[in-house]
Amino acid sequence: MNLKEYVEWDVAEVLEYEYTYQYNEPGSELSNTDRLFALKVKSCSSYFNNKVYMARPADMNMKRIPLVGEFVLIFKTFNEQSTSNRWRTGWYYVSTIDLQSSINENRLPGISDGLTQEQIDAIKPGKTFTSKTISPLQPYEGDMLLEGRWGNSIRFGSSINTTYPAGYYYKSTPWPSNQDGDPIIILSNGRNNKSKKEFTVENAEQDASSLYLTSTQRIDTLTLTKDLTVHNSAFVGSQFVGVADRVILRAKSDIAVIDSQEAIVLNTPNEIYIGGEDATEPLAHGLVLQQILQLIVQAISAGSTGPGGAPCVTNASALLSQISTLLPDLNSTKYKMTKT
């Protein structure tokens, strides 16, 4: 048996989807469980009589589903109906070919059919897809970049030598470090995109939301509502930095733990609610409360003057003395709050 008869490569144009975004149960007329995410594609290997195939993704764990009018590298090999005695084949697509060098879409429809320009202009990329101008990320040597069509990305990068030749990179890294080659992971979502495919780089303050896993890098683009003066924000150890308009952390069935060897800072110029956002009971300022209680003890200890001018002294002087001894312990040496 000649293996070459069962392995073949081609380039094909995506014509339409074959229930790619639907699920139809086995046994139904439109069942698609044996061809999940399949695309109808047309070969571009010749100018005439180009064949139409049904192509499935070659990798079910990592998929980049192309648009109508984009081109894919496809190959033919064994399908699920093959046995040791008989080989059956099917077509699979590997990846989209970046004809336009575009992050958002790389369409060039009509090539496989020789359509007129009017017919080409009428071909839509899909049922819901809307084209957008999306800036590609600035790459740095050694990076591995995963970029979505909409300006969402994961960068597996590193600290870059600050002595690289002037102009070598279009944009310098905004995560300086004294240790070249140390790893950093950046998950970024929603950036300020620019025209003409201009490179962009992640910015913790300007991106819609982001997550940084650093090793020795500083995130200089991050601005806090109140500057850290005691615990310097220019910390150079590993950091876990998350930024968004709203942050929600939820433990579904057990406790939520924030653990720190040094300190925990709740940094806000406005209110902090404990127990719920409808909390109305204000927390007492410990030093002020201690001062008030101390004055009360002193006032009671001083006694008073009776109707005849005779001094009246409390009969609980021992208790007052005990209270005075305990008052310094009212304030925690560990937990502190801002006086407002």
Q: How would DSSP label each residue in 65-92? A: PPPTT-EEEEEEEE-TT--SS---EEEE
Of the candidates 43, 38, 37, 40, the residue with the CA atom closest to the CA atom of residue 15: 40
pLDDT in tens, 57-73: 999 899 899 999 999 99
The per-residue pLDDT for 49 is 67
Helices (H), 145-189: none
pLDDT in tens, 74-97: 999 888 887 778 888 899 999 899
The per-residue pLDDT for 18 is 72
pLDDT in tens, 31-61: 778 888 999 999 988 766 688 999 999 998 9
CA 125 distance to own-chain centroid: 27
